[in-house]
Structure 1
Amino acid sequence: MHTIKALILTLLGFSIISCGNDAKEKTNLSITTNTKTNVFALGETAKLSIENPKGLDISSVTYKMNGEVIDETLQLDDEKLGIHNISATVKFGESSEDITTKITILNNEVPKIYGYKIINTYPHDITSYTQGLEFYKGELYESTGQYGESKLRKVDYKSGEVLQNINLSRQYFAEGLTIFNDRIYQLTWQENIGFIYDVNTFEKTSSFKYGKSKEGWGICNDGKHIYKSDGTEKIWLLNPETLAEESKLQAYTNKGKIIELNELEYINGKIYANRYQKNGVAIINPKNGAIEGVIDFSPLHKLVTQHQGLDVINGIAYNPDTKTIFVTGKRWDKLFEVEVFEK
């Protein structure tokens, strides 16, 4: 068990935040919970109360979580994981005061460890700094990064032959890609812009600005929503028509948040996310952000040609035709087709 926990921490790393109160000094009113740190696990009950050291005659309290009215007793069964804003409007006499705090909701299960079996190995362009990888209608598409090297490609995955290619302007550092309704969505890193292409012609048809997320890292879709990572623990849900960030997930284990989520792929109801600078992939529940599993792909790094520019794994794609997963990395000369299994 200790070995499994160590592997999870090595592959992902985590950070836990203890959320305290943000109360005004005027009345010394504050929101308290039934835990000292305001940290709860999914399935637990949060009980809210008002600390009233001056003994004010409180007539009513209205609690809200993320702007929605809640009861003072909150059963945390179906909530999204991560940090949530709790507010209270406290009325006393003819006055009222708004006070706030935060709570953190963790998953209630340890992530499962998954292994893999290599089915096939294919050639891959060793110069490609892979940022995004996705199959669409049997074809493999790839986005590569670095300033002056960023590209959008369609590739024959069996031979490695480049079938279509667009070089981005040197001012852009390309990141992840996803394909939805015959449109390719490609992110850039810090340029705050994404590009949309026609999947058949590779013609750039439009672009979009990021909203609440400052950077572009990974992107995928489930046929209804587009999911975007920004280098933090957050995964944003984008409206597929307007590209507006309508809501977000926060990726958490039973110990804390997982930051630097990178390339994303939606596979059989789950989001698979590469973790930057880690040769592992997190399996995330798209309903609440829970990291339910970890795949250790680190041995693949030793199976590719070792050279000065070699970097970590970053590129995961699911092929519905073969029902297998394809994995590569930044400046890897191989593309691996694998089957994943729970250990």
Structure 2
Amino acid sequence: MRTLMTTSLLLAAVLGGCAAAPVSDAAPPAPEKLKVRVLSTLPHDPAAFTQGLEFSGETLYEGTGLVGKSSMRAGPAGAAPTVRQELPGLFGEGITVLGATVWQITWKDGVAIERDAKTLAELRRVTYTGEGWGLCHHAGRLVMSDGSSKLTFRDPVSFAPTGSVDVGRDQLNELECVGDSVYANVWQTDRILRIDAATGRVTGEIDASGLLDGAERGSADVLNGIAAVPGTDEFLITGKLWPRMFRVKFVPIP
């Protein structure tokens, strides 16, 4: 009996200690609220249905969409492109520059085009399943959106999927990878999300509303296009059929 009572007391003490142990179930911090501070503006082709925007050095690459109007362009920011390749018969989407090549994806065609970064000449095509929206690269892998809440990681050579994260926010569109973050336009909104590339957690929400005036808004489509300006903490942002690009900083909302 003494042995049984001793065992029971010990078990109760252990269980009591476990119950008293602190449980770490703290919610992640709320996303930082930011807005855009406009530093300057640059002209943008108002006929360009912008789907991807990215700098490599001083060269700005832009991919455009719509069947019959899709293209890949490169040149100085704010000037006419010095090189351009059309994409007949396909609906172009996001782009990313990776070394000596550029990847350009398509919307519902299931085709990714690898191009020469200097001439934009097509090198090869690979196929994938599902829709293509945005594209960037981080830590030796491609990051791709498909209009859902998921970011898919892909091999930069084979384009095969290697993993994914769920962001918990739908309609992720054009992407820009900067450091350990992915910036994503949210389709049909004036919001940009800053996302932790490893976990998919949203760490910042950027209000990019009010950039165009009323007259410009009439013929313009949605905000789409984020390009980090090399060597700075600044970005170039624009939209589909927008007449201007905006060089901005993302700053906290007081």
TM-score (norm 1): 0.64
Matches for 1:60-209 after TM superposition, within 5 Å: 108-158=28-78, 160-169=79-88, 171-209=89-127
Matches for 1:1-343 after TM superposition, within 5 Å: 44=25, 108-158=28-78, 160-169=79-88, 171-211=89-129, 214-251=130-167, 257-302=168-213, 305-308=216-219, 310-343=220-253
Aligned mates of 2:58, 2:77 — CA distance in 1: 10
TM-fit CA distance, 1:304: 7.1
Structure 1's 176 and 274: CA in aligned 2 closer, same or farther, altered over 3 A? Answer: same
Per-residue displacement from partner, 1:262-301 (whole Å, max 9, x unpaired)? Answer: 0000113200000010111000001110011100001113
TM-score (norm 2): 0.86
- How many aligned positions are there? 230
TM-fit CA distance, 1:328: 0.2
Aligned mates of 2:75, 2:191 — CA distance in 1: 24
Letter in 1 for 2:170: I
* Alignment-derived partner of residue 5 in structure 2: none
Aligned mates of 1:200, 1:220 — CA distance in 2: 18
Aligned mates of 1:339, 1:165 — CA distance in 2: 29
* Partners of 2:85 and 2:121 within 8 A in 1: no
Greater relative contact order (Cα < 8 A, sep 6+): 2
TM-fit CA distance, 1:203: 1.4
Letter in 2 for 1:143: G
Aligned mates of 2:217, 2:35 — CA distance in 1: 23
Give the fraction of aligned pairs with identical amino acids, expressed as a percent: 31
* Alignment-derived partner of residue 18 in structure 2: none
Q: Which has the higher helix share?
A: 2
Structure 1's 163 and 127: CA in aligned 2 closer, same or farther, altered over 3 A? Answer: same
* Partners of 2:58 and 2:76 within 8 A in 1: no
Letter in 2 for 1:148: G
Which SS does the other structure have where 1:299 is aligned?
Answer: coil
Structure 1's 128 and 226: CA in aligned 2 closer, same or farther, altered over 3 A? Answer: same
Gapped regions of structure 2 (runs ≥ 5):
1-23
Gapped regions of structure 1 (runs ≥ 5):
1-42, 45-76, 78-106, 252-256
* Partners of 1:301 and 1:312 within 8 A in 2: no
* Partners of 1:130 and 1:145 within 8 A in 2: yes
